[in-house]
Structure 1
Amino acid sequence: MDDFFEDAQTQDIQNVQQDGSQAQQYAVFDAFENESPTQAITLNAYVSPEQQLRKDKLRVIEDERIAQIREKDQQERLLKQQKKQKAQEYLQEFKKQQDADIAQKRSQNKQKQEIWLENNKNHNQYKNSWDQIAQNIALKDGEYPGQKDVTKMRQAILNKRSDLTK
């Protein structure tokens, strides 16, 4: 008769007593393993047709609102992606323009440096500044290409040059 009343739970309890406290904990969980999950308790209250219509309208309104929110979210994502792509294109164009400007400045600086080196080389060939001035002006009477008379200026420059060379 004892075999008839024994079931899996009593066998688990006997195993628990034998295996100790840890096995006891697992046995408790095993007892609930075969049970079906509990469902939410629903009230079987009478719902009038007016209340059902209101619930349906509210459900439709809620579904529309959710659809609008999803559509708005999708549009915002597309707009954000477009802005991001436009910003990437602008950034690439900006970098390209910046590289072109840098290359142009580099070539201009090289040209300026070559001109400066050439001027510096010409400057160093004269012993003093008066030689350079005298070289750049026409000291003979017939060499001056201008129309004004600059004989007094020429004479002053020659006198100053002669004072320095004495």
Structure 2
Amino acid sequence: MRTLLLALVLAATIQPARAESLWVGTAFVTEATSVCGSAATVGDFGRLIYRPAGTALGNDADSTLAYVTSRASVTMFVPNNTFRANINYSGQAISSQVTVTTRTGGILGWTLSPAVLATSTTRASLTARLANFFAVSGCTVSLQANLVQIP
């Protein structure tokens, strides 16, 4: 009986591991400078994965944004911070020739609705303006995405 009681007390105090919170959706390029060339043109689209920073979300202090197309992908990181306007990101792009390029860029605009995501937020919309997109120096794009939280 004591063993059963001890097991019940221990089971009641164990907290399950909290999973990371991610929001995923399709992002469309709504604006691209001519410097982007074929790397990004208006009308292009890809899968966007957003992982904001925040222990309340089950995430650590770093934010990540990934944009994946059928030709290439780019992942952007904001260490110890959240994505927002007027800060820099570091990132890596992988081209269709499997060339990996590392570059930093600026977040020129960032509008997330709702502005603060919670574990109860099931949907969000994002408009972002990013410099040096796809690791192309001088390439600035605007993205529009509707996101859903994945369970």
- Of the two, which has the highest radius of gyration? 1
- Greater fraction strand: 2
When you count helix as a share of all residues, which structure comes out higher? 1
TM-score under structure 1 normalisation? 0.19
Q: TM-score, normalised by structure 2?
A: 0.21
Higher relative contact order (CA 8 A, sep 6+): 2
